[in-house]
Amino acid sequence: MTNTKNLILQLKEVKKEKELSLDKIKDMVESTGNSVSKSTLSRVFADGSEDKQSFSYDFTILPIANALLDVDIEEESDDLDTKAMKSLLKVKMERMRELEREVEQLRNELDREKVKYHEKLEREREQFNNSLEFLKHQVELKDKRMDLLFEAIFIKNAQHDEILNAVMSCPLRKDED
């Protein structure tokens, strides 16, 4: 984004040198077949905008640069340094467009990867919840079995106690006192 910062500074310098108003710049941009709103222009040319704002290169900075810097027009009156600077600026602006496209592609890929990750995470969460429900059901079954076993043991013990009491209280039983 440093190149965008430098380009905004150059645009501000041209505006100041040529004493251009925002309306004039808007007309110049429209004469190139592009459009930038006056509010966007005021944000671009505001003090410190090169550090504080992030602007779309293709839709904001490039149209203004094409209008103000006459990048596409080489005049015969241009000296060799000016022609070289315009040529260099063209190359840099094209490289910035390429980088912006690459950034957009990377953002799209990242978004697709995020979606895939969230879908995978959701599937794993669902599998985990299903496993957890299955295990809860298994625990409930084992609890029921244990309750039945304890009940059976209790009943058997009660029967043993009844039999023991019956034997002990039998009148035919010989006391060993």
Whole-number CA gyration radius for the chain: 42
Indicate whether this model's pTM tops 0.75: no
Whether 157 is covered by a domain: the verdict is no
pLDDT in tens, 16-68: 888 888 898 898 888 888 888 888 888 888 888 887 767 777 778 888 887 87
Whether 82 is covered by a domain: the verdict is yes
Whether 115 is covered by a domain: the verdict is no
Per the CB < 8 A criterion, the answer to whether 4 and 52 are in contact is no
Write down the residue that tokens 């209280």 correspond to.
169
CA separation for the pair 68, 155 (Å, rounded): 100
pLDDT in tens, 82-105: 767 777 777 787 788 888 889 999
Structural domain including 86 reads 2-100
- Quick one: pLDDT band at residue 2, thresholds 50, 70, 90? very low
CA separation for the pair 160, 88 (Å, rounded): 105
Whether 31 is covered by a domain: the verdict is yes
Whether 106 is covered by a domain: the verdict is no
Q: Considering its fold, how many domains does the chain have in total?
A: 1
